[in-house]
Amino acid sequence: MSQLPIDKLLHKVDDLREDSIQLMKGLIAINSVGPANDGPGEQEIADYLESYLRKIGFKQIQNYPSSDPRVAGGERPNLVAMLEGKDPSKTLWILTHTDIVPPGDLTKWDNDPFQPQVKEDKIYGRGSEDNHQGTVSSILMARAFIESNIQPQINIGLVMMADEETGSGFGLGHLLKHHANLFKKEDLLIIPDAGEPDAGMIEVAEKSILWIKFKTVGKQVHASTPQQGINAFRAASDLVVRLGALHDHFPARDELFSPPVSTFEPTKKEANVPNINTIPGDDVFFLDCRILPDYDLQKVMEKARQLADEVEKMYHVSVEISTVQKEQSAPPTSPAAPVVGLLTAAVREVYKVEAKAMGIGGGTVAALFRREGFPVAVWSTLDDLAHQPNEYCRIGNLLKDAKVFIHCVQNAKGI
Ligand SMILES: [Zn+2]
Ligand 1 centroid–CA 286 distance in Å is: 24
Residues annotated catalytic, as ranges: 99, 164
The per-residue pLDDT for 415 is 75
* Element housing 314 (H / E): helix 297-315
The per-residue pLDDT for 290 is 95
Ligand 1 centroid–CA 94 distance in Å is: 13
State pLDDT tens for residues 35-60. 999 999 999 999 999 999 999 999 99
Res 386 pLDDT > 90: no
Which stretches does DSSP call E strand in 52-197? 60-63, 66-67, 75-76, 79-83, 87-97, 117-119, 122-124, 154-161, 188-191
State pLDDT tens for residues 106-122. 999 999 999 999 999 99
- Confidence band of 1 (pLDDT split at 50, 70, 90): low
Ligand 1 centroid–CA 111 distance in Å is: 21
Over the range 155-177, which residues count as b (16 or more CB within 10 Å of their CB) and which as e? Answer: bbbbbbbbbbbbebbbbbbbbbe
Ligand 1 centroid–CA 378 distance in Å is: 11
Ligand 1 centroid–CA 88 distance in Å is: 29
3-class SS of residue 342: helix
- Confidence band of 364 (pLDDT split at 50, 70, 90): confident
3-class SS of residue 304: helix
Amino acid occupying residue 204: V
* Element housing 315 (H / E): helix 297-315
- Confidence band of 414 (pLDDT split at 50, 70, 90): confident
Q: Which residues surround ligand 1, an ion (CB under 5 A)?
A: 130-131, 193
